[in-house]
Homo-oligomer: A and B are copies of this chain.
């Protein structure tokens, strides 16, 4: 572990080195990585699929489930970063640009805040 909190770019480099050291690059086509990303997202859904909305709010109260949630969050982020690596996409810049488009698309309300999320 490092003494400093990890940053996204450093984790992305560690993932790239991890895959390279295991000769996994031939598997890591963009097509395969988006499939793996969607599979990991579904493993998150699986944790919540039979829960009521209220139960879903309390999911971190159980240590075993909390660990499983953090593990699947990590897997989603890992495949997203690996996808960005092979495609040359900057995920933070992409998100910043998207937030700005959404600020135009869904103007902050004076009282119209009951629209459905986009």
**Whole-angstrom distance from the CB of A47 to the nearest CB of chain B?**
8
Is the CB–CB distance between A60 and B32 below 8 Å?
no
- Chain B residues with Cβ below 8 Å from A57 are 29-30, 86
A18, A76, A83, A93: residue with the most chain B Cβ atoms closer than 10 Å: A76
> Can you spell out 21 A-B residue pairs with CB atoms less than 8 angstroms apart?
A5-B93, A11-B95, A11-B96, A11-B99, A19-B117, A24-B117, A27-B117, A30-B48, A31-B48, A31-B53, A36-B50, A38-B42, A50-B116, A59-B87, A69-B87, A70-B89, A73-B91, A74-B97, A76-B76, A77-B95, A78-B95
5 interchain residue pairs of minimum CB distance: A42-B42, A23-B113, A74-B98, A31-B56, A38-B41
